[in-house]
């Protein structure tokens, strides 16, 4: 049994302008100890997917359907009190902006102790010892002295380490990381990613890594889900995705990665804007921006199905297998030529 199995998840928000379908029929599963990368542009629904799984969407204007089976039990239909027991204990989450994710009026020690005591019936002393242990594990220098400091006394990278410590403090089975390195500078990003990898080995947690950065996915993930406009457009093992990308959107993402070796002065970009989720385009949602667009793309929505050559490589595109393989490998060859 998969640790987490998401089936046909849909989340919409009621707004004054109408219903926004932020997540529209997303399915994937996460195995124990594995890392799933979810890639997509801003507003593609990757964060909302995970907030829905965690039950952290504001309840009033949100409608969710589908299933998110956690160890076989559906989280979407679970009572708030049951969800609360799972959150922060079996399943935890770190967020994009470490500068605002910690409460400014409490010491980090207090916030870590709270995380322990919400789920374990232990004394403050025991909880604090555990907090100290985690702060050392995430590499906070002079952790004994710093445990009583307030968040504003830490740098962004250090705060993200504290957030990671807080997320791992109860030894969760799944850690959801929502763009954990986006707000950090490049050297700190690498440190945080390395730290997460090392801790995954130590703690054995599964990770869902939400990012818009294919580089982060290549480095950390086992499986990759590519999302576009609230839907999954491609889903494959990380190796397969980078070897034989099947979807024009994925090609666009890969083509827009900056490379040191090429002479091109400008980055390649995907033309146009992501569509409004209030009124998504008919047919394939990527068709207005797709350089390979055909007549059928405008009218018929492609289903997420296995590629002809590899049924485990899911993709949603009307192009014939031959074109996909040809265009995909052209891109990969170009990339390889540059890196060799």
Partner 1 sequence: MFRYLIRRILWAILLFLVITFVTFVIFFMAPNNPARAMCGGDQASPTCLKTATEKLGLDKPVYYQYGLFLKRLVVDHSLGTSYATSQSINETIKEAAPVTASLVFGGAVLWMIIGLSVGIFSALRPRSLIDRAAMVFVLVGVSAHPVWIGLIFSYFFGVKWHITPIANYANFFGAPPDSGLPGGPAQWAYHMILPWMTFAILFAALYVRMIRANVMETLNEDYVRTARAKGAPEQRILFSHVLRNALLPVVTMLGMDIGVALGGAIFTETVYQLPGLGRTAVIAIQAQDLATLQGVVVFATIAILFFNLIVDLLYAWIDPRIRLS
Summarize as ranges the residues that interact with partner 1 (CB under 8 A): 54, 56, 84-89, 92-93, 95, 97, 100-107, 114-115, 118-119, 150, 152-153, 163, 166-167
Question: Which of residues 37 and 172 has its CB atom nearest to partner 1 in the complex?
Answer: 172
Supply the minimum distance, in Å, between the C-beta of residue 285 and partner 1.
28
Question: Which of residues 152 and 266 has its CB atom nearest to partner 1 in the complex?
Answer: 152
Question: Which of residues 112 and 236 has its CB atom nearest to partner 1 in the complex?
Answer: 112
Question: Which of residues 47 and 315 has its CB atom nearest to partner 1 in the complex?
Answer: 47
Question: Which of residues 87 and 146 has its CB atom nearest to partner 1 in the complex?
Answer: 87
Supply the minimum distance, in Å, between the C-beta of residue 26 and partner 1.
20
Helices (H), the chain: 46-54, 80-86, 108-117, 124-137, 143-146, 156-168, 186-203, 214-220, 238-243, 248-255, 295-299, 321-339
Supply the minimum distance, in Å, between the C-beta of residue 89 and partner 1.
6
Supply the minimum distance, in Å, between the C-beta of residue 85 and partner 1.
7
Cβ atoms of 316 and 234 closer than 8 Å: yes
Supply the minimum distance, in Å, between the C-beta of residue 125 and partner 1.
20
Distance CA 220, CA 236 (A): 14
Q: Exposed (0-12), middle (13-18) or buried (19+): which is 47, by Cβ within 10 Å?
A: buried
Strand partners, 208: 36, 176
Question: Which of residues 23 and 253 has its CB atom nearest to partner 1 in the complex?
Answer: 23
Distance CA 252, CA 254 (A): 5
Query: What stretch of H or E contains 231?
Result: strand 231-237
Residue 255: name the closest of 138, 156, 316, 333 by CA: 333
Supply the minimum distance, in Å, between the C-beta of residue 51 and partner 1.
8
**How many Cβ atoms are within 10 Å of 132's Cβ, its own excluded?**
18
């Amino acid at each position: 049994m998969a640790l987490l199995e998401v089936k046909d998840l849909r989340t919409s928000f009621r707004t004054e302008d109408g219903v926004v379908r932020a997540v529209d029929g997303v399915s994937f599963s996460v195995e124990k100890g594995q890392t799933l990368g979810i890639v997509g542009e801003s507003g593609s629904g990757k964060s909302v997917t995970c907030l829905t799984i965690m039950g952290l969407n504001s309840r009033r204007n949100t409608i969710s359907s589908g299933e998110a089976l956690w160890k076989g039990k559906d989280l979407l239909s679970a009572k708030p009190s049951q969800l609360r027991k799972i959150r922060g204990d079996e399943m935890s989450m770190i967020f994009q902006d470490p500068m605002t994710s910690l409460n400014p009026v409490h010491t980090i020690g207090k916030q870590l102790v709270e995380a322990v005591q919400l789920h374990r019936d232990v004394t403050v002393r025991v909880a604090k010892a555990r907090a100290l242990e985690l702060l050392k594990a995430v590499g906070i220098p002079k952790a004994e002295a710093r445990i009583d400091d307030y968040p504003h006394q830490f740098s962004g990278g250090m705060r993200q380490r504290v957030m990671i410590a807080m997320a791992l403090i109860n030894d969760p089975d799944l850690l959801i990381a929502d763009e954990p390195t986006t707000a950090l500078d490049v050297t700190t990003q690498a440190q945080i990613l390395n730290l997460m990898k090392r801790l995954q080995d130590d703690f054995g947690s599964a990770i869902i890594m939400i990012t818009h950065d294919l580089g982060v996915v290549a480095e950390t993930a086992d499986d990759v889900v590519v999302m576009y406009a609230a839907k999954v457009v491609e889903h494959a093992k990380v190796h397969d995705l980078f070897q034989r990308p099947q979807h024009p959107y994925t090609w666009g993402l890969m083509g827009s990665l900056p490379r040191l070796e090429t002479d091109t002065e400008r980055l390649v970009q995907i033309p146009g804007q992501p569509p409004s989720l209030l009124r998504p385009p008919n047919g394939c949602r990527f068709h207005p921006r797709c350089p390979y667009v055909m007549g059928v793309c405008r009218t018929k929505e492609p289903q997420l199905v296995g590629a002809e050559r590899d049924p485990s490589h899911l993709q949603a595109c009307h192009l014939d297998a031959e074109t996909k393989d040809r265009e995909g490998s052209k891109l990969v060859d170009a990339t390889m030529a540059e890196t060799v």
